[in-house]
A and B are shown apart, each in its own frame.
Chain A
Amino acid sequence: MTTLVSFIDWLESKELPCFYKSVFHIECPGCGMQRAFIALLRGHLGESIRLYPPLLPILLMFALLTMHLVHPFKHGAKILKYLFIFNVALILFNYLYKIIF
């Protein structure tokens, strides 16, 4: 248990800075994903959604991708395609929301 907590602390210390933000001084579409992932690992689900809402659908997409690769289900590719488009739309809406408000 303590190794898991120290692993999460180690991950938090290794966060990448946003090169986009250092140049343009506004957030990029992926800003907050690392912090939201760390919050999710610590168990703070609401905090994770508040920081970066599209993270959970992205993780769901990766889970479905691994399941589809291990044992392909019939409409797996189609589900992944629509989920991908939904994720991109969610990322863009989140970005516009953060920029405008």
Chain B
Amino acid sequence: MDTYNQNPNQSYDKNQSHASPAQPATSAQPVFTPLVALPPVPNATASLVLGILSLVFLCCYGFPGLILGIIGLVLANNAISLYNTSPQGTYSQASLSNANAGRICSIISIVLAGMMVVSLIIYFIAVGSLDFFILREIFDFIENTH
């Protein structure tokens, strides 16, 4: 089989028959798979953003940071479990590292916010007053800015 007479667009595989050019290549020819960017695990970048954002929202006794941290942790755990249960090559590796980083950041924020909330509760139990002067401070602030 002289390869020079063949169609130049065909592959130079001597094992390939002329009758069916669409025959799949044998093991003698390397198979070139196109490089496709794997899709990211859903919610991986969201958990990273929420984990990092929860650090600056640790004001106001840590409540916003606590909420953001919990949401980030839940999303990160979902993403990691989804990555582990799906077969290899479904999702990209980079998004797994994003989800891991988001998980660590969320855990740290939850710990810090939890300490602030616990200190607030201990303060109110120790002082023993149901004086919601924090709310009064908030109302004064809102009034002064108008």
Contacts and interface: CB of A to CB of B under 8 A. Distances in A.
A86 B60 CA distance: 23
A33 to B, nearest CB: 8
A13 to B, nearest CB: 9
Interface of B: 45, 48-49, 51-52, 55-56, 58-61, 94, 97-98, 100-101, 104-105, 108, 112, 116, 120, 123, 133-134, 137-138, 141, 145
A69 interface: yes
B100 A77 contact: yes
Interface stretch (A1-9, A18-26, A41-49): A18-26
Contact of A22 (B98, B100, B112, B137): B137
Contacts of A29: 58
Contact of A28 (B59, B105, B141): B59
Interface string A64-79: 0100110010100110
A18 B58 CA distance: 12
A22 B116 CA distance: 15
A80 B60 CA distance: 25
A88 interface: yes
Contacts of B60: 19
B118 to A, nearest CB: 13
Contact of B48 (A14, A19, A58, A80): A80
A78 B101 contact: yes
A51 interface: no
Given A24-B123, A65-B49, A84 B61 contact: no
Contact of B61 (A20, A74, A87): A20
Contacts of A62: 52
A72 B94 contact: yes
